[in-house]
Amino acid sequence: MSDAAIPSPARAAPITLVGPIAWVRTNLFSGWFSGLFSLLLLFLIVKWAMGFIEWGVINAVWSVPNNQTQACRELKGTGACWAVITEKHRFILFGTYPYEEQWRAFLSILIFIGLFIVSAQRVFWRKELGLVWVGALTAIGILMWGGVLGLNYVPQERWGGLVITLILATFGLAFAFPLSILVALGRRSKLPAIKALCVLYVELIRGVPLISLLFMASVMFPLFLPEGMNVDKLLRAQIAIILFAGAYLAEVVRGGLQTLPRGQYEAADALGLSYWAKTGLIILPQALRLVIPPLVNTFIGFFKDTSLVLIIGIFDLLTAGKTAIIEPAWQGFGIEVYLTVGFIYFCFCFAMSRYSQNLEAELNRHRVR
Amino acid sequence: MSTSMEAVASAARADAPPAILLDKVNKWYGAMHVLRDVSLNVALGERLVVCGPSGSGKSTLIRCINRLETHQEGSIKVDGIELSDDLRALDAIRREVGMVFQSFNLFPHLTILENCTLAPIWVRHMPKAEAEALAMQYLERVKIPEQAKKYPGQLSGGQQQRVAIARALCMKPKIMLFDEPTSALDPEMIKEVLETMVGLAETGMTMVCVTHEMGFARQVADRVVFMDRGEIVEQGAPNDVFENPRTDRLKLFLSQILRGH
């Protein structure tokens, strides 16, 4: 009993419980079967990685003179022909944008990326951010079109590559997200006309494939316009994407609205908050942070779905990559081009995914007790 | 069965103007008749306790007073304003009537201080600094100013309910409604909430409380109303109602809740 007053000193945990050795033991070699399986997988991974390094680095050809691809062809698939990227990267990134003016498209891509990085910082989430967006998008418009400030005019038909993907995805989600919130709120409205309109919109748009909407936008829509009037093809595709994404996002947002207990609405009502104050300060802040994972899921999906515009003849990143290898000299080097294009898509999507996880953790701090 | 209003109106406050006036209010949930010809007159400054078995319509009654529920027949006047579909009248009433819920209903994504300043800033258009000073004043009154920067999830149930009371008071309401404020609390936390309510009663606030806390009713209520199956069965001074129940329904109810205590 006399020992009870002095607590015994805490001993460091044995090496079998903490540290990297313990981790390997519990996760990879917890039994003879799992040990054997781990070794087999390790062998396969090393073998595959070495094969990839041999193909992609050791045996690879990085450049060839004047489209002479014999050096690449002599490899017979044992090495990568990165020369196709060296040669065609500007076409993949900028499409048929005039060669001497491609710095403008490049600058636009940098502005987009800068805009994403600034918007991701919560310290910048103020009213001024809206002005930054308007300013940035105006700058991109001026850069891409030109015709003012001494820049040569470049018609939209010549835009292409990564810039098109970023334009479609950024404008698409920037307009579709607010639209989806309004539709989700409208679906829960007590006014039957608004509710019916929102249900009709969501069900109609969700009921058809994006491709058919794009076809309608590019082929059918001009038939309804008065003669001589023409709406830019990119704009029509953009509107189709906004409407489509809006319907899907609306259902995600509605899911968030439904998880809120009725007491939250009643407490806001009892305090005398107006509908918009209640919605903007109490309901949406809670509902939206609950649906960050499915929202980002949809965002990532639509970022990639913008590649479907190829069927109406718009040159996005993927189409530009595909077109780059149509030239006879470069035929057969699809793997290198698609790996590169895939890597660019992956960078954007992975960034979105990681960011959303951080945001979720940060915004849900209040739920930690 | 129900006794007439004039006979039982609290003698102490009978001369004060009515804060709440219900006249033959009827309400249905679908086919279910939940309020039957309920007439009630609450004077300014009066403390009213409503009790009755579950499903008797007492919560529905007070939720009709700030129109969280709508009634179908009869009229309800709060602070002289008739409750109707007129949104401006509704806004005016909700500004003057505070409410405390059984499940607290604090806003979990806002700090305690933000919970309290939200309505003064957005409904009363009070400057932020002024609203915060006011909120701290009321948080001190409910004895939890030190929790102002925390989130509701970090507080105990009793503390949350006291914040809910402070939040309602920050709107400086003329009338406070309490819908079973202690029913969701652990026994050791009921006392701190009741003490807060007693303190509030001492300031002369008009209060309508749905509660089964007999001790509280005896201590502060001017009048107790007993409801059963959607109608007011008996009402009177707390001692009268609890010591000399005239109806079998009240006798049964009293025996049940006394057994429970």
C-beta neighbour count of B118 within 10 angstroms: 23
Q: Give the chain A residue whose CA is nearest to the CA of B168.
A: A271
A81 forms bridges with which residues in the sheet? Answer: A61
Which residues from B are below 8 Å from A274, CB to CB? 91, 122-123
CATH, range A84-367: 1.10.3720.10
- Return the sign of the alpha-carbon dihedral for residues B114, B116, B119, B121: negative
Q: What is the pLDDT along chain A (369 residues), one digit of tens a residue?
A: 455 567 777 877 777 677 777 888 777 777 888 888 888 999 999 999 988 888 888 777 777 777 677 777 777 777 777 877 877 888 888 888 888 888 888 888 999 999 888 888 888 888 888 888 888 888 888 888 887 877 788 787 788 888 888 888 988 888 999 999 999 999 988 889 999 999 999 999 988 888 888 888 888 777 777 766 667 788 888 888 899 999 999 999 999 999 999 999 999 999 999 889 999 999 999 998 888 888 888 899 888 888 888 888 788 888 888 888 887 777 777 888 888 889 999 998 999 899 888 888 888 777 654
User: Residues of A numbered 285-314 whose beta carbons fall under 8 angstroms of chain B's beta carbons: which are they?
Assistant: 285-286, 289
The angle that helices A334-363 and A83-94 make with each other, rounded to 10 degrees, is 60
* Chain B residues lying within 8 Å of A273, measured CB to CB: 118-119, 122-123
Contact A97, A108 (CB under 8 A): no
The confidence score (pLDDT) of residue B16 equals 63
Residue whose token pair is 């850069």: A143
Q: Any CB–CB contact under 8 A between A263 and chain B?
A: yes
Chain B contact for A270, CB < 8 A? yes
Cβ pair A267:B151 closer than 8 A? no
CA B59, distance to chain mean position in Å, is: 9
Q: Do A272 and B109 touch (CB under 8 A)?
A: no
Query: Does residue A33 come out as left (phi exceeding 0), alpha (psi in the -120 to 50 range) or beta?
Result: alpha
Q: Which residues pair with B42 in a beta bridge?
A: B20
The residue of chain B with its CA nearest to that of A261 is B105
| pTM as predicted | 0.81
DSSP calls for B194-208: HHHHHHHHHTT-EEE
Nearest one of B74, B187, B172 to B126, comparing CA atoms:
B172
Supply the pLDDT for residue A102.
84
Q: Which residue of A has its CA nearest to B99?
A: A270
Q: Does A275 touch chain B (CB under 8 A)?
A: no
Q: What is the Cα–Cα distance from A25 to A111, expressed in whole angstroms?
A: 48
Residues in contact with A64: Cβ distance below 8 Å, sequence separation at least 6, in sequence order: A70, A71, A72, A83, A87
Residue A12 is predicted with a pLDDT of 77
Please report the pLDDT score of residue A179 as a whole number.
93
The residues near A61 (Cβ < 8 Å, ≥ 6 apart) are A71, A72, A75, A79, A80, A81, A82, A83
Q: How far is B151 from chain A (nearest CA, A)?
A: 6
Partner-chain contact A264 B118, CB within 8 Å: no
Q: Are A200 and A131 in contact (CB under 8 A)?
A: no
ipTM over 0.90: no
Report angle CA A124, A128, A129 to the nearest 5 degrees: 55
